[in-house]
């Protein structure tokens, strides 16, 4: 059965890429950091209102890294791990849309711009967080069982 | 759904880890099934029954609320 998962060996590189993307993203969004060498000379192109690609690189690094962390196979990938993945995906999507609905009601103007930025990443963050918390809880129970 | 995997495992004197290795699943899976927190697929249930040399119904029984 096709499971659309990456090899287990890509999980650690994924974590490193995520951390790099996160640091670069926070620096870009909150401190206006930019790499000069990622500036565009042809800034009048109708498709690029932004003159520097640092934030795009940060977002891509974070998304690619989180996908590698969250969607890499376990050493033993079986039906139980698949069920945790499915439950985590459901949790992530429902929570994301609940949070987004509340933000639509209560956040306006510039604040909503930040909501839109973070809501791009929230489903991935929630999925990865819940998946690894459930796994960690199971590991704890198993260590008590021994 | 209740099950008697722990009983059959004890009769065969094997650990969760050994059973998991034999069935090609993780120890977490065996633990969750034994605790009744996870219902295995038909394929895994049949593999377990075959491993313990019993009928599937001897391993798994429906409860009233099922």
Q: Which residues of A touch B27 (CB under 8 A)?
A: 142
Burial environment of residue A106 by CB neighbours within 10 A (0 to 12, 13 to 18, 19 or more) = exposed
Decide: helix, strand or coil at residue A77.
Answer: coil
**Is the predicted pLDDT of residue A43 greater than 60, yes or no?**
no
Q: Where are the domains of chain B?
A: 2-53
- Please choose, from the candidates A114, A24, A115, A37, the residue with its C-alpha nearest in 3D space to the C-alpha of residue A64: A24
> What percentage of residues in chain A have a pLDDT greater than 70?
91
A138 interfaces chain B, CB cutoff of 8 Å = yes
Q: Do B26 and A79 touch (CB under 8 A)?
A: no
Considering only the beta carbons, identify the residue of A78, A141, A145 that sits closest to B26.
A78
Give A144's pLDDT tier (boundaries 50, 70, 90).
confident
User: pLDDT (tens digit, 9 = 90+) per residue, B31-63?
Assistant: 999 999 999 999 999 999 999 999 999 999 998
pLDDT at A29: 86
User: pLDDT (tens digit, 9 = 90+) per residue, A79-100?
Assistant: 999 999 999 999 999 999 999 9
pLDDT at A39: 84
pLDDT at A112: 93
pLDDT at A49: 59
Burial environment of residue A63 by CB neighbours within 10 A (0 to 12, 13 to 18, 19 or more) = middle
A1 interfaces chain B, CB cutoff of 8 Å = no
Give A141→chain B minimum CA distance, Å. Answer: 9
CATH class of segment(s) B2-53: mainly alpha
Q: How far is CA A132 from the centre of its chain?
A: 13
Q: How far apart are CA A86 and CA B63, in angstroms?
A: 25
B29 interfaces chain A, CB cutoff of 8 Å = yes
User: pLDDT (tens digit, 9 = 90+) per residue, A51-79?
Assistant: 889 999 999 999 999 999 999 999 999 99
Lowest mean pLDDT among A36-40, A63-67, A95-99, B7-11: A36-40
**Is the predicted pLDDT of residue A1 greater than 80, yes or no?**
no
Considering only the beta carbons, identify the residue of B24, B27, B38 that sits closest to A142.
B27
Higher-confidence residue: A47 or A141? A141
- Please choose, from the candidates B66, B54, B64, B61, the residue with its C-alpha nearest in 3D space to the C-alpha of residue B9: B54
Give A24's pLDDT tier (boundaries 50, 70, 90).
very high
Residues 41-60 in B contacting A (C-alpha not used; CB under 8 Å): 41, 44
């Amino acid at each position: 059965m096709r499971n659309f998962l990456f090899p287990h060996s890509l999980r650690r590189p994924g974590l490193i890429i995520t951390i790099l993307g996160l640091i670069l993203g926070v620096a870009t969004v909150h401190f206006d950091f930019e790499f000069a060498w990622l500036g565009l000379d042809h800034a009048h192109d109708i498709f690029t209102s932004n003159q520097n690609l640092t934030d795009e690189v940060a977002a891509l690094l974070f998304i690619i890294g989180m996908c590698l962390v969250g969607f890499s196979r376990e050493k033993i990938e079986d039906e139980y791990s698949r069920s945790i993945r499915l439950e985590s995906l459901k949790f992530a999507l429902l929570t994301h849309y609940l949070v987004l609905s509340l933000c639509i009601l209560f956040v306006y103007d510039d604040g909503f711009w930040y909501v839109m930025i973070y809501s791009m990443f929230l489903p991935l963050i929630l999925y990865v967080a819940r998946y690894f918390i459930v796994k960690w809880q199971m590991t704890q129970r198993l260590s008590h069982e021994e | 759904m209740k099950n008697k995997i722990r009983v059959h495992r004890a009769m065969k004197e094997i650990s969760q880890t050994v059973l998991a290795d034999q069935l090609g699943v993780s120890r977490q899976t065996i633990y969750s099934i034994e605790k009744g927190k996870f219902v295995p697929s038909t394929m895994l249930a049949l593999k377990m029954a075959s491993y313990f040399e019993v009928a599937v119904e001897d391993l798994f029984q429906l409860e009233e609320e099922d």
